[in-house]
Amino acid sequence: MQRIQGRARPGWQHIVESQGLAFHTDLSATARPYWDESVHYTFSLAEVEDLEDVVEELHAMCMDVVDHVIRHNRFDEFGIPDWLHKPIAASWKRRDPHVYGRFDFCYDGRAHPKLLEYNADTPTSLVESAAIQWHWMTDTHSQADQWNSIHERLVDQWRRTGRTLLHLAYTGEETSGEDALNTAYMAETATLAGIDTHMLTVEQIGFDTGQLRFVDNERRPIDALFKLYPWEWAVADEFGPAAVEAQPDTPWVEPLWKMLLSNKALLALLWELFPGHLNLLPAYLDGPRDMQSYVAKPLLGREGASIKIVTPAGTTHQSGDYGAEGHVYQEFWPLPDFDGHHPVLGAWVVGHQPAGLGIRETRGLITDNTSSFVPHLIT
């Protein structure tokens, strides 16, 4: 694994805009662009094959955690309200279909990859991973390869659902355009799978009180829905109970059982069920225990918000509004240092299969929504 300096393509801004990535540059003229192709990482084929094996194994372990939590009724440790326990268990027993997720790793090409967290319900940076960096590779390194079968696997996964019509929704309150872009890309892959698609915002979804079913902004019934909207937000909304009640007949993607994987209590359960696993970090729900260096992560936090890093050298705290739901305490594992930059590897899983890689870089200790996305190659 190496970090390689390069040269951005002339007019790269217009190129990535034509491919859908409009938020490629921060409005501040001095800020590093979000999409940064002046640098890239290279991996050997052996390193990528090792990462694929790790993703496949961790995904299977996560499925074991879901089964364990449901069989032993451990929902309270996830802070999940009582009224959702049976619906989540029923969703799992039905094996309501899921599509994708993203594991975030600390990895330097030498030590074992360490799982930092699993984004299992509403992972983003999908377009950058699946499409933008692929086009960059074909333009600049046409003889190279990339760990990237995300697009093809998504099309195949949608085809397996057997759907003929799919609604796709994102929240209109997200103003950067990232959620809309990711949702539009999902619609494209579903269309390629032969499914008719209709995009709308969550705020445009209605509920027909006569037929007791959800309808779109044209009053058409919603029989299948992809939502880039976290379940913990959905169940807390006014329509939350009706959404949960609708799942047996029209399960949404991602399914209700994914609430157990998008919650960082998962990290503590993984460590409990698989103690000492080479790809896991010690993690606990009742406090840091004897760890001298640890990260306190809100169970439902996003984009690095509200994270606190405690080490003998001091404490670093990221502002945010999360944490009332509780925390998990995970051993602090410093990100690797490549010329003062610290990458986090986002490894995608589609269905039950490893699918590709996206990399975010930061100069600090915490990867957040200001961290740049950089492409990669297999050499």
Q: Give the DSSP letter string of 89-109.
A: HHHHHHT----EEEEEEE--S
What pLDDT sits at residue 28? 52
Please report whether residue 277 resides in a domain: no
CB-based burial, 12-36: b 16+ in 10 Å, e otherwise: bbebbeebbbeebbeeeeeebbbbb
Asked if 102 and 32 sit in the same domain, the reply is: yes
Question: Between the CA atoms of 232, 233, 236 and 238, what dihedral angle is there, to the nearest 10 degrees?
Answer: -140
Residue 308 and residue 192 share a domain: no
| Bridge partner residues of 377 (DSSP) | 42
268 domain residue, yes or no = no
Is 292 found in the same domain as 362?
Answer: no
Mean pLDDT over 116-123 rounds to 96
- Are residues 192 and 297 both part of a single domain? no
Asked whether residue 189 is domain-assigned, the answer is yes
pLDDT at position 30, please? 53
Any domain includes 270: no
Between the alpha carbon of residue 79 and those of residues 4, 323, 328, the distances in Å are 43, 11, 12
Q: Tell me how crowded residue 164 is: count the other CB atoms within 10 A of its CB.
A: 10
Instruction: Please report which residue ranges of the chain form alpha helices under DSSP H.
Output: 12-18, 45-71, 85-94, 126-127, 133-140, 150-161, 178-192, 231-236, 240-246, 265-273
Q: Does one domain contain both 191 and 149?
A: yes
Residue 140's CB: how many other CB atoms inside 10 A?
Answer: 17
Alpha-carbon gap, residue 81 to 300, rounded angstroms:
14
pLDDT at position 121 is 96
> Same domain for 203 and 288?
no
Residue 136 domain flag: yes
Nearest Cα neighbor of 105 from 348, 310, 307 is: 348
Report d(CA 153, CA 347) in Å as an integer.
14
Q: Residue 322: its pLDDT value, please?
A: 72
The whole-number average pLDDT for the span 276-290 is 97
Range 132-146 average pLDDT: 97
Neighbours of 193 (CB within 10 A): 18
User: Which structural domain range is residue 293 located in?
Assistant: 282-331
Angle at 229 between CA 202 and CA 20, to 5 degrees: 85
260 has pLDDT over 60: yes
Summarize pLDDT for 172-187 with one digit per residue, the tens. 998 889 999 999 999 9
Rounded to whole angstroms, the Cα distance separating 150 from 137 reads 15
> Hey, what are 41's tokens?
């990482």
Strand partners, 284: 329
**Domains contained in the chain, number:** 2
Are 116 and 253 part of one and the same domain? yes
User: What is d(CA 196, CA 219) in angstroms, rounded to the nearest whole number?
Assistant: 16
Are 244 and 286 members of one domain? no
Residues 212 and 313 in one domain: no
One domain for residues 174 and 296: no
- On whether the pTM is more than 0.85, the answer is yes
Does residue 206 lie in a domain region? Answer: yes
Asked if residue 271 is part of any domain, the answer here is no
Residues 191 and 324 in one domain: no
Q: Is residue 275 part of a domain?
A: no
Rounded to whole angstroms, how far apart are CA atoms 58 and 65? Answer: 10
Percent of the chain with pLDDT over 70: 98
If you average pLDDT over residues 34-49, what whole number do you get? Answer: 97
Distance of CA 166 to the CA centre of its chain: 21
Q: Are residues 254 and 309 in the same domain?
A: no
Per-residue pLDDT tens over the stretch 235-247: 999 999 999 999 9
Which residues, at least 6 apart from 166, have a Cβ–Cβ distance to it below 8 Å?
158, 187, 190, 195, 196, 197, 198, 224, 225, 226
Residue 83 near residue 236 (C-beta atoms within 8 A): no
Phi, psi (rounded to 5 degrees) for 260? -80, -15
Residue 266 Cα to chain centre, angstroms: 14
Residue 364 pLDDT class (50, 70, 90 cuts):
confident
Query: Using 50, 70 and 90 to split pLDDT, how confident is the model at 114?
Result: very high
Share the mean pLDDT of the chain: 94
Mention every residue, 6+ apart, whose C-beta is less than 8 A from residue 315. 308, 309
